[in-house]
Amino acid sequence: MMAPMARAATTSDVFNAIAEPQRREILLLLRAGERPVTELAQELGMTQPGASKHLRVLREVGLVRDRKAGKQRLYGLDARGLRPVHEWTGGFERFWNESFDRLDAYVQDIKQARQEGRN
């Protein structure tokens, strides 16, 4: 009974879709431009059906688009689908900035202590 629920969540939620490492890898590969599924599968060391399954999930959550080019289908990145992730992580930015500010202050203290020690 639980399996269909988990599957539905994966295909409808961008966070669940990118939780899978191979799907994140596909997105990284597509940053360079459109690729056919055969190339993606080869690059990832997986079967074509396996790569197709991942691409289908990514397409369903709006991260990948596809188009027909002659006999093959090309997959491309649609980074607009990552907006919810960006907005969510953006809420943590101030914590990173505070950490960098503290690190910068620490480095300045060390530099000052060294200079005072030399004089």
Taking only the tens of pLDDT, the chain with its 119 residues reads 444 444 444 446 899 999 999 999 999 999 999 999 999 999 999 999 999 999 999 999 999 999 999 999 999 999 889 888 888 888 888 887 787 788 888 888 888 888 887 65
- For residues 116 and 35, give the distance between their C-alpha atoms in angstroms, rounded to a whole number: 58
- For residues 104 and 25, give the distance between their C-alpha atoms in angstroms, rounded to a whole number: 33
Q: Can you read off the two tokens belonging to residue 40?
A: 């993606």
Residue 78: which of 1, 43, 26, 116 has the closest Cα?
26
Q: List the domain range (segments joined by +) for residue 86.
A: 82-119
- The DSSP letter of residue 20 is S
Domain identity same for 90 and 72: no
- For residues 11 and 79, give the distance between their C-alpha atoms in angstroms, rounded to a whole number: 17
- For residues 26 and 115, give the distance between their C-alpha atoms in angstroms, rounded to a whole number: 50
Domain identity same for 10 and 32: yes
Residue 19: which of 74, 49, 61 has the closest Cα?
61
Domain count for the chain, please give it. Answer: 2
Domain identity same for 27 and 53: yes
Domain identity same for 55 and 3: yes
Against a cut of 0.85, is the pTM above it?
Answer: no
Domain identity same for 10 and 29: yes
Domain identity same for 70 and 93: no
Give Cα 10 distance to the centre of its chain. Answer: 15
Domain identity same for 68 and 52: yes
Domain identity same for 59 and 95: no
